[in-house]
Structure 1
């Protein structure tokens, strides 16, 4: 019986075996490695181009500043490149001017470092520029260490930094501008898959004489859905940012994903699963906080949870392969089956035993909320 249930669970649409699924999830992160390689090559190309312009063509005396700025400004999104470019130019200008002023006033490199470095480090740490604040003290060190603080040197340093910034931002915006939407689709598919797997597991094991250990594992897995939702929120933020000021995102193939409102639905579904598994945990035979539901009620609960799991599995299938009439009909059939099993579960509410009625009633109410949120 258990082997048959396991085989049935592994055959659900879009579902791999549990061990294989966990292995694949641990390793597969579509798009991340490719994007990293592309961005690294673009940064190297931007640095080489900046050096060619300033060092080879213009013969600039501070040509190093251009590739230094260019390589740092091929960021993970075009918006981040623009923002970081403005911040970097500002920090380099501050570091250059403070260091040059300290050198002119003191007339001594060591004394200028003592005067300038505390100021530029404080500016870099306090200014709302994030990691770009490091450019203020490093630029000041370059200025003082190489003695390049004349008006001519300061002007060239700033001009070459601006040239490098323009090249870095331009390369990132024109050459395969990054569109970070793949993780949104991956995590959107993962949520209904995780819910389907958990519901099927609970249904299969609930009909047996379940105890505290099994119930704790269900509750732990239900809590783990929060982590996936958190990842999905972060992925959506990155995807949204990657579209800002991105001139080529409409020309790039991006992964289709459900709208942000979809996340709220699955957040509620995850909360329902946490409540259901917590109720089952507290009603476990060796737990004792709630009365254990009778076997007939557990069988009905298992039936409705199994049908709800099949609905979630169909949602995953629809996300992977797209909606069609057959999949919609199958989903509607599974949801109707779940509501039918829920009606039978409500009839299991005892009349006289208030303790048992409390545990069964808690399951009935939370499963009903789950089914309402699973509605199309």
Structure 2
């Protein structure tokens, strides 16, 4: 009986702990923002199914508050530019194969000019969707309205529900890299005392190269953590966390390079 209670308590504690994980928090925040944006758009947009609003909210509610603000600005800008292009084309030509190709070409070109970054295809998508309907004017402004609703709801959700801080995830990535680097160093040191076969030395070289390649993924996790510290009301010493994590990764990167060169030299010696 006591063992069953202990297992049940451990299961509950594990579930509560997982609720605090950044991935779980981000999933719940994105779902709530998209649903709320759809509810608001149903009452304000003239469209029967205003799915642009939840789509925008889902894309706007990014991992961090800093990226949410920048993403919202770029996405709204891309949709507005695409709608303006579609309105201009609809007043001159209809929907044909050559007008469709021309509007895609113009939208992608203008998207790069207005610097909407990864939302360049969104300019062409907005222009095609608006151009393909009959009532261009009503649909164009409805799409702009839905985009604004989704962006506003996404920003509001990030202000009310503070985004997760990814410092713990970045720290675990750096610790895992340091642990694997230490284990490889110990194996190379133990094997260097005797006559190391060429196949073993080559395997250690491949392991060192894999660690070198993993630096990029760890750096991505660290950049995500650094962005989560910007403009986040839950963080008081964001600069300190950023300096400590970045310094640790820079040190590991130098050690990885040195270890890779050492493994390369030992492999050459074993081959000779």
TM-score (norm 2): 0.76
Measured in 1, the distance between the counterparts of 2:210 and 2:222 equals 19
Aligned mate of 1:65, from 43, 52, 64: 52
1:219 aligns with 2:205: yes
Structure 2: state its 5+ residue gaps.
Answer: 1-17
Q: 1:174 to 1:206 in 2, by over 3 A?
A: same
Equivalents in 2 of 1:219, 1:121: separation in Å?
Answer: 45
Q: Which residue matches 2:267?
A: 281
Q: Which has the larger radius of gyration?
A: 1
Instruction: Flag the 1:34–1:96 CA change in 2: closer, same or farther, 3 A.
Output: same
| Residue aligning to 1:263 | 249
Q: Specify which of 83, 86, 90 is matched with residue 103 of structure 1.
A: 90
**Higher RCO (C-alpha under 8 Å, 6+ residues apart):** 2
> What is residue 38 of structure 1 aligned with on the other side?
25
Q: 1:142 aligned to 2:121?
A: no
Q: Is the 8 A contact 1:179 1:239 kept in 2?
A: yes
Q: Secondary structure at the match of 1:105?
A: coil
2:172 to 186, 190, 194: 186
What's the CA shift for 1:93?
A: 1.0
| Correspondence 1:60-99 to 2 at 5 A | 60-62=45-47, 63-99=50-86
1:198 and 2:189 correspond: no
Against the structure 1 CA distance between its residues 119 and 281, is the aligned structure 2 distance closer, same or farther, given a 3 Å change threshold? closer
TM-fit CA distance, 1:80: 1.9
Which residue of the partner structure matches residue 240 of structure 1?
226
Please give the alpha-carbon distance, in whole angstroms, between the structure 1 residues aligned to 2:160 and 2:80.
27
Matched residue SS, 1:245: coil
1:354-373 equivalences under 5 Å are none
SS of residue paired to 1:146: coil
Question: For 1:119, which of 106, 130, 134 is the aligned residue?
Answer: 106
Cα distance between partner residues in 1 of 2:73 and 2:200: 55
2:52, 2:33 → 1: CA distance?
A: 13
2:206 & 2:102 partners in 1: Cα distance? 56
1:81-127 CA-to-partner distances (Å, cap 9, x unmatched) read 21121111111111111212222233x34486465343223323555
* 1:20-39 Cα deviation digits (max 9, x unpaired): xxxxxxxxxxx9x9544433
Task: Answer whether contact 1:174 1:248 (CA < 8 A) is retained.
Answer: no
| Structure 1 residue 165: Cα displacement | 0.6
Residue 175 of structure 2 is aligned to residue 163 of structure 1: no
Partner of 2:14: none
Contact map agreement 2:222 2:245 (CA 8 A) in 1: no
Once the two structures are TM-superposed, the CA of residue 256 in structure 1 deviates from its matched residue by 9.9
Is the 2:226–2:242 Cα contact (8 Å) retained in structure 1? Answer: no
Q: Which has the higher helix share?
A: 2
* Aligned position for 2:161: 175
Q: 1:97 to 1:272 in 2, by over 3 A?
A: closer
Q: Measured at CA, do residues 191 and 258 of structure 1 come closer, stay the same or move farther in structure 2, by a change above 3 Å?
A: farther
Matches within 5 A, 1:316-327: none
Give the structure 1 partner of residue 196 of structure 2.
210
Once the two structures are TM-superposed, the CA of residue 173 in structure 1 deviates from its matched residue by 4.0
CA change 1:246–1:272 in 2 (3 A) is: same
Change (3 A) 1:214 1:85: same
